[in-house]
Amino acid sequence: MTIYSFYIFDRHCECIYVKQWHQRDRTFRPTSSSASTVDSPVALASDRHSSTSSKLQNEVHPSSRGGRLSVQDDAKLVFGVVFSLRNMVRKLSGPDDSFISYRTGSYKLHYYETATNLKFVLLTDVKMNNLKVVLHQIYVNLYVEFGEFFSIEHPGGEGVAVELFEMGLDSFIRTIQD
Amino acid sequence: MSATKAARVGEDVWKTRIDKVNAELVTLTYGSIVAQLCRDFEGDYLEVNKQLEKMGYNIGLRLIEDFLAKTNMGKCANFRETAETIAKVGFKVFLNITPTVANWTTDNKQFSLIFEENPLADFVELPDDGRAQNELWYSNMLCGVLRGTLEMVQMQVDAHFASDILRGNEVTEMRVTLVRIIDDELPPGED
């Protein structure tokens, strides 16, 4: 079981936290097969959801041709996907419904949203079980305990990157991966 | 969620998941905050009300996450449910009191919280300067807390005290009005 990356988005649509595991060299084209799973599926997904802004795609495509996306571009694409999917699900089956995860051939995206519009996203390999509960636990035990009380408006998206939160997240993720 | 279920959730969370502090400590701390503000603003009670509300608002913005994490509650279906949740879960969990929800308007956008007890105001007497009785809303921080928490769950409300036992009124009553539902923010470039 492998976990690729983790994102938190706040209610202002800002990515306030990113963590990527299994980091590979970001300046060269990925050579190992697992390397392509983090970013290329996301780029693919955004093609399909053409409702995400064209401006976003324009920004992204030149860089994706060059190989790897920056962490910020990844985050923007992930946000675009979950935002569109969430809104679509709500339109299709009512405002109380929300999507839990989706998977492609090469990765699975797990999603949890709080009533305060905080969005938690985890990208894993396809064999991973549903991690909605895990995301909820990250919210309850880590974000609320350590992250939230340091900064409310998260200026510059650095707000919750607090040492205790980092440590907690790392050890927590390790328990899932085993 | 029905009122009885809200009461049960509130009771349960309060019993099992809440760290408690001495109530008198809270009362005294709050009292010294208000007293200090009255000194800082040299008896300008209207300004003190405003500052208390603002402090509460900033508490509320954070408190909502703690509330959601501890109670594990989702979105309320309507404003009536919100009111029951505030009274029977929110106030119960954080202050161990359960104000009564009353006086709904017919459009279901305005209600009152009647406080039979108010731990913030225990042992309190307002200054006897002829103005505090008419101008100071001693527990005004609670209004701000409600405004802050509800804003974070997409409800803009107006909350203010309509009467206070400290002022010699018969009951302590807070009036809460739903102003509007706040739309989701759109990411830049999509609006």
ipTM of the complex: 0.82
pLDDT band at A7 (very low <50, low <70, confident <90, very high): very high
pLDDT band at B58 (very low <50, low <70, confident <90, very high): very high
* Interchain CB distance below 8 Å, B65 and A115: no
Q: Which of A56, A114, A152 sits opposite B62 (nearest CB)?
A: A152
pLDDT band at A151 (very low <50, low <70, confident <90, very high): low
* Cβ-proximal residues to B124 (8 Å cutoff; 6+ apart), any chain: B31, B138, B166
Percent of the residues in chain A that have a pLDDT greater than 70, as a whole number? 64
pLDDT band at A20 (very low <50, low <70, confident <90, very high): confident
Surface-to-core class of residue B78, CB atoms within 10 Å of its CB (0-12 exposed, 13-18 middle, 19+ buried): exposed
Closest of A49, A41, A37, A15 to residue A120, by C-alpha? A15
pLDDT at residue number A57: 39
* Interchain CB distance below 8 Å, A80 and B187: yes
The span from the CA of A162 to the CA of B106, in Å, is 47
The shortest C-alpha distance from B75 to chain A (Å) reads 6
Q: Which of residues 13-32 of A touch B (CB under 8 A)?
A: 13
Look at residue A157 and tell me whether its pLDDT is greater than 90. no
Chain B residues close to A152, C-beta within 8 Å: 58, 61-62
Look at residue A41 and tell me whether its pLDDT is greater than 50. no
Percent of the residues in chain B that have a pLDDT greater than 70, as a whole number? 98
Surface-to-core class of residue A171, CB atoms within 10 Å of its CB (0-12 exposed, 13-18 middle, 19+ buried): exposed
Number of compact structural domains in chain B:
1
The span from the CA of B88 to the CA of B104, in Å, is 16
Look at residue A95 and tell me whether its pLDDT is greater than 90. no
Look at residue A119 and tell me whether its pLDDT is greater than 60. yes
The DSSP bridge pattern shows strands A108-113 and B100-102 to be unpaired
Look at residue B64 and tell me whether its pLDDT is greater than 90. yes
> Residue B91 falls within a domain, yes or no?
yes
Residue A115 forms contact with B (CB below 8 Å): yes
* Cβ-proximal residues to A84 (8 Å cutoff; 6+ apart), any chain: A49, A51, A52
Residue with tokens 């290329």: A40
> Residue B11 falls within a domain, yes or no?
yes
The span from the CA of B142 to the CA of B147, in Å, is 9
Please, are residues A2 and A22 in contact by the beta-carbon 8 Å criterion?
yes
Look at residue A62 and tell me whether its pLDDT is greater than 80. no
> Residue B12 falls within a domain, yes or no?
yes
Range(s) of the domain holding residue B27: 3-181
Q: What share of chain A is helix, strand, coil (3-state, %, to 5)?
A: 45, 15, 40
Name A103's bridge partners. Answer: A108
Interface test with A, best of B66, B67, B190 (most A CBs within 10 A): B190
Looking at residues B4-28, what average pLDDT do you find? 90
Look at residue A31 and tell me whether its pLDDT is greater than 50. no
Looking at residues A76-88, what average pLDDT do you find? 92
pLDDT at residue number B157: 96
pLDDT at residue number A154: 54
Residue A14, SS3? coil
Q: CATH number of the domain that B92 lies in?
A: 3.30.1380.20
The span from the CA of B61 to the CA of B42, in Å, is 28
Which residues of B make CB contacts under 8 Å with A?
58, 61-62, 64-66, 68-70, 72-75, 152-154, 184-190
pLDDT band at B22 (very low <50, low <70, confident <90, very high): very high
pLDDT at residue number A60: 40
For chain A, list the domains and their CATH numbers: 3-177 (3.30.450.70)
Residue A87, SS3? helix
> Residue B191 falls within a domain, yes or no?
no
> Residue B189 falls within a domain, yes or no?
no
Looking at residues A41-64, what average pLDDT do you find? 39
Q: How many residue pairs from chains A and B have C-beta atoms closer than 8 A?
A: 50
